[in-house]
A and B are shown apart, each in its own frame.
Chain A
Amino acid sequence: MPEAAVIRKPRVLSRVFSAVRLPVGDPFAVVGLVIYALFIVTALSAPLIAPYDPTEILYTENYDLASDLLPGEEGHVLGTTSLGRDIFSQIVWGARSALLVGLTAAFMVAFIGSIVGLLSGYFGGWVDALLMRLADVAFGIPFLPFVIVISAFSEPSIWNTVIAMALVLWRDTGRVIRSQVLSLRSRGYVEAARVSGSSDLKIILRHITPNILPLSFLYGSIAIGWAILTEASISFLGFGDPDAISWGFMLQDAFNSQALARQAYHWFIPPGLAIILVVSAGFFISRGYENLLFPKLGR
C-alpha cells in the first residue's frame, strides 16, 4: 500500500490539473475566455480605467450640474446620469461588483454542492436521505422571491445576497455530484481501498475528490452567470447594496429617473449589454467545458 500511495500522488495532482483544463479547442469557449479575461482585467484595474469616481456628482466647467449629458459631451464617453455621474465609470466599476458576486457565489455553490454530494453519495443511508430531502426543499423554494426577502430583511449588502443565492442554488450541484460519487463508489478501486483499510477521509480525498472536481468546476461556472443575473435583479428592485455600484443598480437608477421615457438609451443599454456579454461568455465557457468533460460525438 505505501508504494501505491507514492505512485498515486502525482496522479492526484495531474487529475486536479486536468480538472482545470481550459476548453481551448472550442471556438465558442475561446471567445468566452477572451471576454472573461477582459472582464477580469477591467474589474481589477477599475480605478485606473475609470476616468471618474462612479458615485461622484460632477459639474461642468461653468459649475452647472453635469446631468443627462449625451455620449461624447464634455468628454463623457457614455454621457452622464440625471444626478451627474459618469456612466462609463459606473460600467467599469460595475464589473468589479459583478466579478465579486459571480465568483463568490460560484465558489459557495460549488463548495456546498460538492460537500453535500460527497457526503450523500459516499455515506448513503440516512445521511443521503436527509440531504436529498433538503435538496427537494431547495427545489421547492422560489429562488428569486427567496433572495429578495432575505436581501430585504437583512442588512443590505452584497454578501447577504450571495449567501441567499448559495442557500438555494447548491441543489443542482449536489444532486449531480452525488450521482457521480455513486458511480465512482461502485468501481472496484474504492472498494479495494476500503477493504485494505483506508479511512473514509483518505478514500474521499484521494480517490473521489479528484474525480468530481471537474463537475464542481462546471457547476460553479454555470452559477457565475446565475449569480450575476440575480444580483442585477435584486439591485434593480432596490434591495441591493446601496454603496456598491453595480450594473443592476445603474438600471434601477435609469428606470427610476425616467430614462426610458426620455429615450436615454446611452444610459440603460450599456449596463444590459455588459451583463449579457459576461453571462453569455460564462455560458460559452461552460458549454465548452461540458463538451470537454462529456464528449458527445457529433454534437
Chain B
Amino acid sequence: MSKFKSFLIRTLQLALVLWAVVTILFLMFRLMPGNPLAAYIDPTFTAEQQEALIRQFGLDQPLWRQYFTYLANLLQGELGYSFRYRTPVADRIWLLLPNTLILTFSSLIVAYAFGILAGAWLAWRRGTRTEAAALPVVLATRAMPEFWLGMVLLAIFSFSLGWFPAGGTRSAGTSYDSLWALYTSSNFLSHLFLPMMTLAIYSQGLPLLLMRSNMLDVMKEDFITMAKIKGLSPFAVVIRHGARNALLPVMTSFAISVGYQLQGNVVVESVFSWPGLGRELVNAVAASDYPLAQGAFLMIAVVVIAMNLLADLLYSILDPRISHA
C-alpha cells in the first residue's frame, strides 16, 4: 500500500513538473519578440479563420485569461492550427509520433543489447589490453556530435556505397495499405537503418559503461564468492548472479535514455530527413510555425517526463528489495 502511495506521490510530482513545463512553454511563446497573436495567427489566414482562432484561444483577452484558456485547450488536446499545413497541430503530431518512437526504440534496443553484452565482456577482460583500447573508443563515441556521425554514415553507406537510401521513411511513389504494412516493409526498414545505427552508436556508451562498472562491483560481492564456493558453473556465477544483479540499474537507465534520445533525435532526424517530431520542431521553429513548434515541444516534454516516471516504476518492479519491501 505504501508502495502504491509513494508511486502516487511521484506521479503527482511529475504532473506538477509537466504543468510547470507547460507554463514555461506558454511564456516562452508569448514573450517572444513581435505580435503576441503570432503564436497562433499567421497573417495569411483568412479573416474568418483569424476570428475563430482569436475566439478559441482568447487572444483578445488579458494574458492571464489566455493562460487559462490555453490550459483548458491543452486538456482537450487542442493545440491550434499549423501555419504551414493549415491542419490541426494535434493531427500532425499524431502522424509523426510513431516515426519518432520507432526510431528511438529501435536504436535504443540495439544500443542496450550491444552495450550490455560489451560492458559485461569488458568487465570480464578487466586490466587487459583489449580493455585499455576499448575504453577510450567508447568515451569518444560519447563525445561525437550525433549529427556528424549521421553525416559520415550517410556519406559512406548511402552516397558512396549506395547500400542505403539517403533519407525519408520510404522511396518516392511507394504506398502501403496500412501503417503496419509500411513499418514491416523492407523499404521502410532500409530507410530506418542508418538513422537507427547513428543513434545506436551514440547511445551504446551509457549502458556499456554502466554495465561494466556495475559488473566490476557486483563481482566483488560475497554472493558471487559463495556461488563459486558452491561449485556453480561459470555461467551461473557470471550471468545468473553477476549480470542479473548488474543489469538492474542498466534497465532503469533505459527509460531515462528514451528521454535523452528523443532530444538527440532532433538533429539526427534532420540529417536523415526522417519525418519525426524532432525534425518537425526544427522546421516549425525555422518557419515560425509557432503552434506546431509548441505542440512538438510539448509532446517531447510529455514523453521525457513520462519516461522519468517509468524509470522509477521499472526500478521498483525489477528490484525485489523494493518491490517486496
Spell out A's residues near B (CB within 8 Å): 28, 133, 136-137, 139-146, 148-150, 152-154, 225, 229, 232-233, 236-239, 248, 251, 254-255, 259-261, 263, 265, 268-269, 271-272, 275-276, 279-280, 282-284, 287, 298-299
How would you classify the secondary structure of chain B's contact residues: helix, strand, loop or mixed? helix
- In the bound assembly, the distance between CA atoms of A194 and B43 in angstroms comes to 63
Ranked 4 nearest A-B pairs via Cβ = A279-B143, A280-B143, A272-B148, A140-B17
Q: Confirm or deny: B99 has a beta carbon within 8 angstroms of a beta carbon on chain A.
A: no
**A145-B266, A251-B151 given as contacts; is B17 within 8 A of A137 (CB)?**
yes
Q: Confirm or deny: B63 has a beta carbon within 8 angstroms of a beta carbon on chain A.
A: no
Q: Is the CB of A260 within 8 A of B136?
A: no
B contact residues around A261 at 8 Å (CB): 159
Count of A-B contacts judged by CB separation below 8 Å: 142
Give the shortest distance, in Å, between B154 (CB) and chain A (any CB).
5
- Among B13, B148, B155, which residue has its beta carbon within 8 angstroms of that of A275? B148
* Residue ID in chain A nearest B288 by CB atoms: A152
Spell out B's residues near A (CB within 8 Å): 13-14, 16-18, 20-21, 24, 28, 32-33, 136, 139-140, 142-149, 151-152, 154-155, 158-160, 213, 216, 220, 259, 262-264, 266-267, 270-271, 278, 281-282, 285-286, 293, 296-297, 300-301, 304-305, 308
Give the shortest distance, in Å, between A23 (CB) and chain B (any CB).
15
Q: Is the CB of B143 within 8 A of A275?
A: yes
Q: Is the CB of B304 within 8 A of A140?
A: yes
Q: Is the CB of B151 within 8 A of A142?
A: no
Q: Is the CB of B13 within 8 A of A276?
A: no
- Among A143, A154, A268, which residue has its beta carbon within 8 angstroms of that of B148? A268
**A137-B17, A139-B308 given as contacts; is B147 within 8 A of A236 (CB)?**
yes
Give the shortest distance, in Å, between A132 (CB) and chain B (any CB).
10
What are 8 of the A-B contact pairs (CB < 8 Å)? A133-B17, A137-B21, A140-B305, A149-B293, A149-B297, A280-B142, A282-B143, A283-B142
A contact residues around B158 at 8 Å (CB): 260
- Among B282, B301, B305, which residue has its beta carbon within 8 angstroms of that of A237? B282
Q: Is the CB of A148 within 8 A of B281?
A: yes
A contact residues around B145 at 8 Å (CB): 229, 232-233, 236, 248, 251, 272, 275-276
- Among B17, B139, B270, which residue has its beta carbon within 8 angstroms of that of A284? B139
Q: Is the CB of B151 within 8 A of A268?
A: yes
Give the shortest distance, in Å, between B15 (CB) and chain A (any CB).
10
Q: Is the CB of B154 within 8 A of A260?
A: yes
**A136-B17, A280-B139 given as contacts; is B28 within 8 A of A148 (CB)?**
no
